[in-house]
Every structure is written in C-alpha cells, then in structure tokens.
A and B are shown apart, each in its own frame.
Chain A
Amino acid sequence: MHDPIITTDNLMVELGGNPVLRNLRLTVSPGEIVAVVGPNGSGKSTLLRCLAGLQPATSGEIRVFGEPPADDAAFWGRVALLADEPAWYPGLTAREHLELMGAVHARPRMTVDAAMEAFALTERGDAPPLNLSTGQRQRLCLAAALLRPSTLLLLDEPERGLDAAFRDRLTGLLAAYADEGGTVVMATHDEGLAAGARQISPAGVGA
C-alpha cells in the first residue's frame, strides 16, 4: 500500500468570516484522478489553493507528500498547478514558452514537438500567447503543465474555453498521466472529465 499523496483532516477555511470549507476529510493515493465537483461558490478553487499551499487553513490539517504544503522550489518541482491563466513572458512565442519549460526541467515528460502536436498548437507556434484564442491559450497552459515532469497535477477548471473534441482528448491525456504514476486533483464542471475520475464535493462533509 502506497502512502497517500494528499491527506486533509477536519480542514476548515473561512474567507471574510464566511465558512467556505467545513470539516473536509480527503485522502488521495498515487495514480488517482480526483474530480472536485459542486456548484459555483462551493469551495472547489479554495480547496485547490489550500492543497497548493497558497491559502492557509483556518483550522485542521493539510499534508501533501506527508508534510504541510510549502511555497518553495522543492514543492513546485513536484507539483504543477494550473489555475487562472498565467502572465506570459513578453517577447516569447507560444512554442518558446514550451521550449523554456522543457529547458528548465531535466527530464520533461514529452518533447516540445510532441506537446505542440498533442495540444493542437503546431500551426500557432510562432504566435505570442496573447494573440491566441481563449481555448488555444488554455491548451498552451495545459501543454506547459503536462510537458514538465510532476508527481501531482492540480487543475482548476481545465475545460475552460476548450471545445468538446479537445475535452475528450484531455480526458485521455490525464489518464495517461495517471498511468505513469501521477496524481491529478481537478476542480471541474465538465461531466465528461469528471466521469473518469473519483468525484468528491467539498460541500459534502467527510467526502
């Protein structure tokens, strides 16, 4: 039995005096895909931020890789977080952002060419990211997150802006990531993405 990647115990988070997460208990094992589902405002993004160490808990305990999440290089070396669209580096093309990602990590999961192909960006490689459509930018974000090596992938609404065909393809890409031993926790409203995952609701106590 592998040690769990993530454990939370009686996790409570209040934002501006409003309880957003209450007594959340969650255990995620290596290789699992977990879909955090629920209506708007149910605390999905807050849970992801807690797991990434970007939102302190009001009470309770969060452990990622057996210790509290820390905003440092060692942590981000193992965790890839994709929440809102990042700020792109000025003067670089879409492809060069992926090249940078590949150059920084010693053993990328795929080559830049393979990532461009898998995320249907080959024809737009020379465009600055801001000249891409919303969906193409989201594909670029996902390509960057999946090109780099990681143990845990935290995704906040990865389906944002994607067409139906690519959402199906994303399900396959995430399954392949999990097959390699990676763990995925994603907040999603997409039923197709959630269907292949263990579904939890932050509103449901002790999910």
Chain B
Amino acid sequence: MSGPEASVRTVRAYLRSRGRAPATMIDRYAAVFGLAMIAAVLGHPLSGLLTGLAGPIDPVRAGAGAALLALAVAGFLAAARAAGPVLLPAADASWLLLSPLNRRHLLGRTARALGVIALVAGVLLGVGLLAVLGAPDQLGWRLVGALVLGVSATAGGLALAVLGQVSPSWQIWLTGAMAALLVLAVVAMSGQLRTVMTIAASAPLTALAAAASGAAMLSALLVRRAWTSLDRIPTRTLANASTRAGHVARATVSLDPGALTWIAEDNRWRARRLASRRWPSLPAPFALAWHDWRKLARTPGRLAAVAATAALPAVLAQAGGPPGALGAAVLAGALAVASLGTSGARRDADNPALARLIGVGRRPALAARAALPALLAGVWAATALTALTLAVPATPQTATVATVTATATAGAGAWWVLGLLAGPALAAAALRMAGRAPVDHSMPVLDTPGGAIPTGPLFWAATGPDLALLGCLPTAIALLTQPAVLTPFLIAQAVMGAVVLMGYVWRTGRMR
C-alpha cells in the first residue's frame, strides 16, 4: 500500500470511528435481503414490461419518444454540470481538500458514486431507447445492445462533465453535446428523423453490436481520461461545487427546498453584470411588484427556454400519454412557470426585514404580485393547450383534447382560453407556495405496512398544489372528460380563478 493512499484511508477510518457505528453483519444482511426483495417484487412486472417491448412500434410515437429521451439526457448533463459533478461533502471540502492528501484518492469515493449514477441512469436510458425503437427480433440481444448504448451515453456524458471541471475547453464540448441533444429533440419531434428511426429500429444485430461497441469504446476513453485528470481539477472549482453540495445537504436534511432556490438564485445573480435602470412611477404596491417583472426581463434566455417547454405536453401526447397525464403536465407545468414570477413574495416570506422597511401593506402587495404569475401561467397554459390541439391530429389513435376539438362545434376551439383563465388560480397557488413555512417536523408520522410516512413533508409539498387543483378544477375536469362544448367550463374557470385568487389575497393579507 502506498503512502498517500494509507493516509487518506487513515483519515477516513478515523472519521468513521468518530461517527456513526460501523456496519455490522446484521446491517449487511438487511441490505442484501432488501435488495433481493426488491428484485423479487420488481422482477416479474419488469420482465413483463420488457417482453411487451418486442415488436415494431409506431414511427410517430418513436419520434416523440426519441425527443423526450434526448431532452432527458440533456437535462441529466445540465444537472451534472450544475452540481459539479465532482464534489465533496462540505466538511471534507473544509478539512481535507486544503491538505497534502492525495487528491485523486480523496475524490475516489465521489468518482465511484458518479459511476453508480451513470450506471443507473444508463440502464433507464437503455430501456427507454428500446421502448422507443422497439425490438422486431432477438429481444434479449437488442436489450443488451440498448443497455450498453445507454450506459455508454451517460458514463461518457458524466466523464465529459468531469473533464469540463478540469478545463474550459472540455466545457465547450459539453455545451456542444447538450446543444446537439436539443437539436436532435427538435428534429425528432418534427418528424424529419422518421426514416432514420425506421432504419435504426430494424437494424440487423451486427450493426447494433458495432454501434454499441463503438459507443462503449468512446465512452471508455472519456472515462479513462476523466479518471486520470481527477487530480487536476482546480481547488477553487471543487470548493465551489462542494459548498453548493453543503447547502444542498443542509437544505435536504432540514427539508427546506426553498433554501436551494435561494442559493441557486443568489449565485446566478452574483455572477451577472447588471446595469441599474430607473424604476417606473407606479402606485406603491405595483412599484414593489415591479421587481419580479424586471428580474424576469433580465433573463430572456430563461424565458425563451420556458416558452419552449410549452411544447412538452404535445410531445408527451405524441408519445402516447393518456389524457390524465397530459392534463397533469399542463397544470403542473403552468404552476412551475407561475413560480418563476414569485421570487419577491418568496424573499419577503423567508425574511420580511426588507418588506417592513418598504412598508407596503400585505394585501395590496400580494394583489399586485399576483399579476405576473397569473400572466405567465395563463399564457404558458394557453400555449401548451394550443400546441396539444395542433399536435395530436397526427396520431388519430391517441384520444386527447384534439380529437374533440377537431369534431366539436362552437366553443371547442377555445381550449387556449381555458388555459388563460386558469392563470389567476395558478398565481394564487404559486404565491401560496412562495409563502409556505418550512416543513413542520413535529407533525405525526403515519405507520403503514409499507413503512412510516412523515406527514410534515407531505403537507408541505401539498401546500400550493392543493390550491391549484381547487382553483383549476373546471379545467382539470374538462381535460379529463373532453366535453364537446367548452363554454360552461370557461365560465366556471373564470369564476373559480377570480374567487380563489381574491379569497387567497384577502385571507393571507389578513394573517400575520
């Protein structure tokens, strides 16, 4: 055993001896038994799912599915880059990073964790790939090929992200890969790849084997390069990533995901170069609410990305999503978009010092701050519903909103109005999310046969979406039942949205 390795091991052993009790034989038995149980429980449905993939599939669904897969991998790479991906626990970063310990040995544990992440994500990607392309013959071999391709893609992508931490030139490659995936998603969605998909789906096994081994070799080269350059990652980069991880861990332990968005937001703005602009003369509550508008105007790229996500429910519909899932995607997406316009309310809920100094009443402030999220959610939902009605006629076999819109008479083309009218209710829900208190861990824990369920986090997670569901009930019912005439739903949604928003502002503005 070499000297430096011994020292990292010694330090880790010391830390372990001071920390929690070491794993006993019973612990290991429980872990292995748990894994065996999971395999036994999931084995049958999984094999059923896989055999169900045998046979050719519809090329339109394949295009949409490929687009979703490309977006998922791009998201995986973006998350890896945002996290580090090489990072240390905050305590290790403080105490062990700035020490003479061998850097590569110190980071070895992180590298192994990244390997496991790449493997799991790769397996999921491989199964997804098979589901998209189908398997006309030799299901077993095609599954192996898809898994190898999937794991190669995720492992190679993660290695690229690690290399991106080492030097900016690799960072460009990573950005290029993500851009290529986004382009691929758009092209796949537009139906241009139909011929390529058909050829790929019916490719002979030898071609698949060649593709899989080529991908595996390229990925292995990247992984090897990333492993050898682990000790060249600048300390500053590592320390930054690890501090972020420390915040994340703290936020996860205290189950206060709000803290995460603060950190991300503050870091982003600290890195930006801004130019002060005059504040418009508006009535006091609107002058206060103007902050959210200005902040959003300063992130045109993000706005464009958000606008592009309005196409996702349509992609999901083409990939064969059921109406319930499509409705949930539209409402959840619109709620998430509304939340982009509530950072002022979130800041004031977390720390009211500035709000007190500004001295605007809570009710007028809330009412003025509801305008932006209502507009964002309304426009996004309207766009998503329009895209859904436009996209679906391409797949007549999928029963969704458009099948009705195509045939129905007056009022049926007004799905987009329904989205717009859902805006106020979604704004109320987004403001409720922004103002919710941290998770209450003193709430009771439910003992169920499947294990203990703490109700505190459940209530926390439901605060906000509950109001969205209540306020968008007419839209939700319309999306599920696909009525021939929309007019009653439009009226109900207009009334419901206004009542929910006014009720929320009135009630919350009164509370202190």
Residue numbers of A with Cβ under 8 A of B are 52, 71-73, 76-77, 80-96, 99-106, 125-128, 130-131, 144-145, 148
Kindly state the separation between the CA atoms of A76 and B284 in the bound complex, as whole angstroms.
14
With a cutoff of 8 Å between Cβ atoms, the chain A residues found around residue B272 in the complex are 128
Contact B347 A76 (CB under 8 A): no
Task: Given the known inter-chain contacts A125-B276, A130-B269, please indicate yes or no for A90 contacting B343, CB distance below 8 A.
Answer: yes
Contact A91 B295 (CB under 8 A): yes
With a cutoff of 8 Å between Cβ atoms, the chain A residues found around residue B265 in the complex are 90-91
Shortest A39–chain B CB gap in Å is 25
With a cutoff of 8 Å between Cβ atoms, the chain B residues found around residue A72 in the complex are 361, 512
Shortest B300–chain A CB gap in Å is 13
Shortest A101–chain B CB gap in Å is 7
Task: Given the known inter-chain contacts A93-B276, A103-B279, please indicate yes or no for A81 contacting B291, CB distance below 8 A.
Answer: no
Contact residue among A87, A105, A125 (Cβ-Cβ distance under 8 Å from B354): A87
Contact A104 B284 (CB under 8 A): yes
Q: Does B362 contact A (CB under 8 A)?
A: yes
Contact A128 B274 (CB under 8 A): yes
Contact A100 B357 (CB under 8 A): no
Q: Does B485 contact A (CB under 8 A)?
A: no
Task: Given the known inter-chain contacts A102-B279, A103-B281, A130-B266, please indicate yes or no for A87 contacting B353, CB distance below 8 A.
Answer: yes
Contact B351 A87 (CB under 8 A): yes
Contact B512 A104 (CB under 8 A): no
Kindly state the separation between the CA atoms of A145 and B294 in the bound complex, as whole angstroms.
23
Q: Among residues 345 to 399 in chain B, which have CB atoms less than 8 Å away from a CB atom of chain A? A: 347, 350-351, 353-354, 356-362, 364
Contact residue among B281, B344, B356, B359 (Cβ-Cβ distance under 8 Å from A89): B344
Closest to A89 in B: B291
Most B-side CB within 10 Å, residue of A76, A84, A106: A76
Contact residue among A90, A101, A145 (Cβ-Cβ distance under 8 Å from B269): A90
With a cutoff of 8 Å between Cβ atoms, the chain B residues found around residue A103 in the complex are 279-282, 284, 287, 290
Kindly state the separation between the CA atoms of A77 and B364 in the bound complex, as whole angstroms.
14
Q: Does B270 contact A (CB under 8 A)?
A: yes
Kindly state the separation between the CA atoms of A94 and B70 in the bound complex, as whole angstroms.
41
Contact A73 B269 (CB under 8 A): no
Kindly state the separation between the CA atoms of A83 and B353 in the bound complex, as whole angstroms.
8
With a cutoff of 8 Å between Cβ atoms, the chain A residues found around residue B501 in the complex are none
Interface residues on B, range: 35 or more
Ordered by A's residue number, 6 sampled pairs between the chains whose C-beta atoms are within 8 Å are A76-B358, A86-B353, A87-B347, A90-B265, A91-B294, A96-B294
Shortest A194–chain B CB gap in Å is 24
Q: Does B288 contact A (CB under 8 A)?
A: yes
* Interchain residue pairs A-B with the least CB separation, the first 6: A91-B295, A73-B361, A86-B353, A87-B351, A99-B279, A103-B287
With a cutoff of 8 Å between Cβ atoms, the chain B residues found around residue A81 in the complex are 353, 356-357
Kindly state the separation between the CA atoms of A139 and B32 in the bound complex, as whole angstroms.
60
B286-300 interface code vs A (CB 8 A; 1 in, 0 out): 011011001100110
Closest to A144 in B: B357
Residue numbers of B with Cβ under 8 A of A are 262, 265-266, 268-270, 272-282, 284, 287-288, 290-291, 294-295, 298-299, 343-344, 347, 350-351, 353-354, 356-362, 364, 512
Shortest B284–chain A CB gap in Å is 5
Closest to A97 in B: B354
Contact A104 B354 (CB under 8 A): no
With a cutoff of 8 Å between Cβ atoms, the chain B residues found around residue A95 in the complex are 276
With a cutoff of 8 Å between Cβ atoms, the chain A residues found around residue B273 in the complex are 126
Task: Given the known inter-chain contacts A104-B287, A105-B359, please indicate yes or no for A87 contacting B276, CB distance below 8 A.
Answer: no
Kindly state the separation between the CA atoms of A94 and B274 in the bound complex, as whole angstroms.
10
With a cutoff of 8 Å between Cβ atoms, the chain A residues found around residue B275 in the complex are 93, 126
Kindly state the separation between the CA atoms of A193 and B356 in the bound complex, as whole angstroms.
25
Contact residue among A71, A76, A99, A130 (Cβ-Cβ distance under 8 Å from B276): A99
With a cutoff of 8 Å between Cβ atoms, the chain A residues found around residue B288 in the complex are 100, 104
Shortest B357–chain A CB gap in Å is 6
With a cutoff of 8 Å between Cβ atoms, the chain A residues found around residue B290 in the complex are 100, 103
Contact B294 A101 (CB under 8 A): no
Task: Given the known inter-chain contacts A87-B351, A89-B344, A102-B279, please indicate yes or no for A76 contacting B294, CB distance below 8 A.
Answer: no
Kindly state the separation between the CA atoms of A86 and B360 in the bound complex, as whole angstroms.
16
Contact residue among A92, A93, A101 (Cβ-Cβ distance under 8 Å from B358): A101
Closest to A149 in B: B359
With a cutoff of 8 Å between Cβ atoms, the chain A residues found around residue B287 in the complex are 100, 103-104
Kindly state the separation between the CA atoms of A95 and B277 in the bound complex, as whole angstroms.
8
Task: Given the known inter-chain contacts A86-B357, A99-B276, please indicate yes or no for A105 contacting B284, CB distance below 8 A.
Answer: yes
Task: Given the known inter-chain contacts A90-B295, A92-B294, please indicate yes or no for A128 contacting B269, CB distance below 8 A.
Answer: yes
Contact residue among A90, A101, A106 (Cβ-Cβ distance under 8 Å from B266): A90
Kindly state the separation between the CA atoms of A93 and B273 in the bound complex, as whole angstroms.
9
Task: Given the known inter-chain contacts A86-B353, A91-B295, A126-B275, please indicate yes or no for A71 contacting B359, CB distance below 8 A.
Answer: no
With a cutoff of 8 Å between Cβ atoms, the chain B residues found around residue A90 in the complex are 265-266, 268-269, 295, 343, 347
Kindly state the separation between the CA atoms of A84 and B353 in the bound complex, as whole angstroms.
8
Contact A96 B277 (CB under 8 A): yes
Closest to A106 in B: B284
Task: Given the known inter-chain contacts A103-B280, A128-B270, A130-B266, please indicate yes or no for A92 contacting B295, CB distance below 8 A.
Answer: yes
Shortest A47–chain B CB gap in Å is 17
Contact A145 B291 (CB under 8 A): no
Shortest A121–chain B CB gap in Å is 11
Contact B294 A73 (CB under 8 A): no
Contact B343 A126 (CB under 8 A): no
Contact A126 B276 (CB under 8 A): yes
Shortest B168–chain A CB gap in Å is 22
Kindly state the separation between the CA atoms of A73 and B364 in the bound complex, as whole angstroms.
10
Kindly state the separation between the CA atoms of A71 and B510 in the bound complex, as whole angstroms.
11
Kindly state the separation between the CA atoms of A121 and B403 in the bound complex, as whole angstroms.
61
With a cutoff of 8 Å between Cβ atoms, the chain B residues found around residue A101 in the complex are 357-358
Given A89-B295, A91-B265, A126-B275, 10 additional A-B pairs, CB 8 A: A71-B356, A76-B356, A90-B343, A96-B294, A100-B287, A101-B357, A103-B282, A104-B287, A125-B276, A127-B274
Shortest B256–chain A CB gap in Å is 14
Task: Given the known inter-chain contacts A96-B276, A96-B277, A96-B279, please indicate yes or no for A91 contacting B358, CB distance below 8 A.
Answer: no
With a cutoff of 8 Å between Cβ atoms, the chain A residues found around residue B270 in the complex are 128, 130-131
